[in-house]
Amino acid sequence: MYAELIKDNNLTPDRIFNLDESGLATDVRTEQVFVSKKDRNAYLRAASCGKATYSVLFCASASGVFMPPFTVYKGLHLYESWTNGGPAGAVYGVTKSGWMEGSVFEGWFSKVFLPHVKDMTKPVLIIYDGHGSHLTYDTVYEAMENEVIILCLPPNTSQALQPLDVGLFKPLRPSGDRS
């Protein structure tokens, strides 16, 4: 099925994209904690940096060209200091949870992805998980209008099938973490 999609649309590696995101934290601790059996929870007292939870979306073509990352911080406002020192061309946003939301993804899709593929031979293919924030009406409509084919991976398979998840995010996670 996938091979037919690629063959029928004469897709070349530079026109096939994969995007994936991962939730990260600024205070990742790996130390072991020893507590009494009676203790139900163990807490660490530490100062908060204000942006402890965030998501990073990466998008790359099958030919190996990466687009600038899109970082979504947890917060109500995006502070300029949070964007200092980031990679060239990086894009930033905020949500209450620090996780991707539909309106934020729509903004990335229309202001970053579509301009990136604007001058390419159409159609182009973008492959990602079927998370609800990625499948809004506006995103699908804009994809159709711009000859972008969206291919969603089967649920609960991205950790095994998604190239960016396997090659980029897995090495960043502590052992056993599958989020």
Q: Answer yes or no: is pLDDT of 48 > 60.
A: no
Determine, yes or no, domain membership for 61: yes
Looking at the domain assignment, is residue 30 inside a domain? no
Residue 43 lies in a domain: no
Structural domain includes residue 152? yes
Domain count, the chain: 1
Retrieve residue 55's tokens.
């998501």
- Domain assignment of residue 64, yes or no: yes
Residue ranges making up the domain that contains 111 = 2-21+50-172
Give mean pLDDT, residues 54-82. Answer: 90
Residue 167 lies in a domain: yes
Q: 22-26 contacts: CB < 8 A, separation 24 or more?
A: 22/55, 22/56, 22/165, 22/169, 22/172, 22/173, 22/179, 23/53, 23/54, 23/55, 23/98, 23/99, 23/179, 24/53, 24/54, 24/55, 24/56, 24/172, 25/52, 25/53, 25/54, 26/51, 26/52, 26/54
Overall average pLDDT of the 106-121 stretch: 96
For residue 112, the domain's CATH number is 3.30.420
Instruction: Give CA–CA dist 169/167, Å, rounded.
Output: 6
Q: Span 150-177, mean pLDDT?
A: 64
Domain assignment present for residue 41? The answer is no
pTM to 2 decimal places: 0.76
The residues, any chain, with a CB within 8 Å of residue 30's CB and separated by 6 or more, are 174
Average pLDDT, the chain: 81
Examine residue 29 and state whether it is found in any structural domain, yes or no. Answer: no
